[in-house]
Structure 1
């Protein structure tokens, strides 16, 4: 029995690799509690709620996919950002379909993706006590601390293997390499011999799992250098730039100074420090138009900012894409977010300003270290940089992004989609 359960234990450890890192454990308590409650009773209650509402609910929820999944190229998405990153393949290839787990929330695209049934997922929860015991031996108390995440991840691999055998997709293309359901599908594809490809959808970290797809389409040298630090790279690697940015690169910001400033908050930012920074900028620079944009997955209520500052504008990340938001700005203020790279590509003046995240996340993506963005370490320094850019904003800030975007300054600049589609087509033909 122990030998039989060793494989599920090792598999769940792989699937949840990011959850067992020091970085994940160092998340702010507020953020971590939103993912996995610190209180053991609340963790157990969450597991019970998941079993009752999600697993049982899936059994009685019919799935009527509008498109044919059998033999298609699957574009597997776990978020609204994933959808935006892979939509260009769907638009170009009639044989491709966008796919997500049965109850996965894909933001404004919830009704536009096909669904993979998870009705049978509950059949595999008998594994939980044995897998938990195995992970306690391997990971210590972190396995108990995140037992609800282990519970939720069980069964994905098995039901996805069943789906792959039933539909026999030609290949599966991912835009995420670390979420539990995405990693489970990747491992299922390996077991069933289904080719896999990966399209990078955002900046990456050296804390990510080793790159494990048959074809890896990365944005630039930064991603490749980081993935080399993550471990052995499996499969072919091509640097293709950022496909989702193509339509916007021709409309780079050419304003000689800044008047419109975007403020992008993420899940790690402290609410009070966000509010203080917004108030400070509005008070010291009343001539600027400031637009606040919370992360699309942020459930916090920021309406108090609207009440305190009627002049503050808002961007709804669930309705407006990041590039649509940036197209209306001349500069960006944010902490650790890929939006800095996207802003710089559009020639915005981007400023890194920490808002209460743990020290372990300082310059998480290395944007400051590689001179992609300016850094402000105090409210006074932030205002000073903004004032400087009010007087003069260079027209070549976007060149700073060359290390992150392989097509910048080449004949393929603005044609990353065509480059990625060509490589993907050749790879699919060779994988027959």
Structure 2
């Protein structure tokens, strides 16, 4: 039972960390409902709809899984970040858990059956009490996350021994199901690679992959703060941005401003910001871009003014949205980096005065984004640059190792080079299974 706790503490490293517990409630609510009743309903719904539902569905296609390079994904963003690999390594296949939501790619991702997951829920109560003993506050708050995590490791270990993938490539290092797959791969002797797909936080788990392809120095510094770094590290930039490197914003005038918001931002403050901006800058167009997980109704905000439109994150890729704007306004969001890579001027503006996470990613401290602490500062900053927007893409060099180098816009080629070499050397490990 002690070994159970050690294993699941690793799987749940992020969500049961002190740093995650101290995040604003709006951020935690994206993972686990704030309401106790809603958490109970989530557990019941998960048990009835997903666990029981999985028992009656046959989803695996063994011929597409055995001996392949697996690209393990837990979201649509993960898929977008890894799809360049499938184009460069034909033996690579996308893999996800049985009921995992992968957005528009749901129908084309190979699935792993999780029907046997239900067999391991006898571990929940013993684990619950072990977690209570060591992490009482987090356990009481996130018991639904613990419940959801049970069984992933055990089922995935069986799948890996059955299908013997050549290598597993990840784009997520902290979700419980991804952590479970990583630890199962290590137990099965299967080599693993990780490609960073979003900005990194110092509360993430330590890197435990055999090959780590990070975007830049910022990520490496933060991961070293997380703990010892296992495996080889290469800095390769951001492959998903390659296709847009030739379309960097060259306009010196501000014609369109984008507002990227997420679940931590207050809808009332977003509304007030849009009202003020449309009054002060009537000739500028505004595009509101919610986070893909944000299910709030934003359609009514487009009625504030005729020059406001909404970008649908489920159908419009992030870089396509950024390609339409000159300035990006956001609070704590990784979109600041993506904006700057396209030479879109990015300004940090907090849209939740009650739950402020000042400069969570360090974008202001390292000069990536400018900052406005209130609306007056924001208005003056925009007003002073209406016809002389700054060139900013070189600000991203600390975060993206290829910016301004011979590999600028060629991160995919660089990452594929390292991955192909890694997969070739991984073959002996595969044969030992």
Counterpart residue number, 2:223: 227
Partner of 2:431: none
Secondary structure class of the residue paired with 1:333: strand
Output the CA distance in 2 between the equivalents of 1:366 and 1:358. 20
Q: Does 1:414 align with 2:406?
A: no
Deviations 1:147-176 (A, max 9, x none): 111001000000000110111000100000
1:375 aligned to which of 371, 377, 391 = 371
In structure 1, distance between residues paired with 2:247 and 2:282: 27
1:61 Cα deviation from its structure 2 partner: 1.9
Q: 2:171 aligns with which of 171, 175, 183?
A: 175
Q: Is the 8 A contact 1:67 1:97 kept in 2?
A: no
Of stretches 421-430 and 24-33 in structure 1, the one that deviates more from structure 2 is 24-33
| CA distance in structure 2 between the partners assigned to 1:239 and 1:286 by the alignment | 43
Counterpart Cα distance in 1 of 2:262 and 2:42: 24
Once the 2 structures are TM-superposed, how far is the Cα of residue 428 of structure 1 from its aligned partner? 1.4
> Is 1:318–2:318 an aligned residue pair?
no
Aligned-pair CA distance for 1:408: 1.1
Equivalent position of 1:148 in the other structure: 144
Query: In the alignment, which residue of structure 1 is the partner of 2:304?
Result: 308
Match of 1:426 among 406, 421, 424: 421
Correspondence for 1:212: 208
Find the counterpart in structure 2 of residue 138 from structure 1: 134
TM-score with structure 2 setting the length: 0.96
Indicate the residue corresponding to 1:24 in structure 2: 20
Q: C-alpha displacement at 1:36, in angstroms?
A: 2.2
Contact 2:24-2:355 within 8 A present in 1 as well: no
Q: Mind listing any 5+ residue stretches in structure 1 that lack a counterpart?
A: none
Alpha carbon RMSD of aligned pairs, Å?
1.5
Alignment gaps of 5+ in structure 2: 428-433
Distance 1:330 1:112, change over 3 A: same
Matched, 1:128 2:128: no
How far the C-alpha of 1:302 sits from its partner, in A, is 1.1
Question: Which secondary structure state, in structure 2, belongs to the residue aligned with residue 11 of structure 1?
Answer: helix
Checking the alignment, whether the CA contact within 8 Å between 2:299 and 2:310 is kept in structure 1 is no
Alignment match, 2:392: 397
User: Matches of 2:19 and 2:372 in 1, distance apart?
Assistant: 23
The one of 82, 88, 91 equivalent to 2:87 is 91
CA shift in 2, pair 1:390/1:194, >3 Å? same
TM superposition shift of 1:399: 0.6
Verify the 8 A CA contact 2:26 2:263 in the aligned structure 1.
no
**Which consecutive aligned stretches of 4+ in structure 1 deviate over 6 angstroms post-superposition?**
none
Report 1:33-44 matches (<5 A). 33-44=29-40
What is the aligned partner in structure 1 of residue 264 from structure 2? 268
Residues 95-150 of structure 1: per-residue CA shift (max 9 Å, x gap): 00011111111111111211111110000000001000111111123212211110
Matched with 1:196 is 192
**Deviations 1:32-81 (Å, cap 9, x if unpaired)?**
34532344444233212111111001111221549611000000111111
1:107 equivalent in structure 2: 103
Q: Residue 247 of structure 1 aligns to a residue in which SS?
A: helix
Deviation of 1:386 after TM superposition, in Å, equals 1.5
Instruction: Give the distance between the partners of 2:356 and 2:313, measured in 1 at CA.
Output: 26
Partners of 2:82 and 2:304 lie apart in 1 by 39
Aligned positions of 1:268-287 closer than 5 A: 268-287=264-283
Stretch moving more, 211-220 or 103-112 = 103-112
Measure, in 1, the Cα distance between the counterparts of 2:215 and 2:254: 28
Q: What is the number of equivalent residue pairs in this alignment? A: 427
- Residue deviations 1:216-253 (CA, integer Å, cap 9, x gap): 00000010011111100000000001101111011111
Asked if 1:293 corresponds to 2:293, the answer is no
Contact 2:239 / 2:410 at 8 angstroms: preserved in 1? Answer: yes
The reply on whether 1:242 has 2:230 as its aligned counterpart is no
Q: Matches of 2:363 and 2:112 in 1, distance apart? A: 37
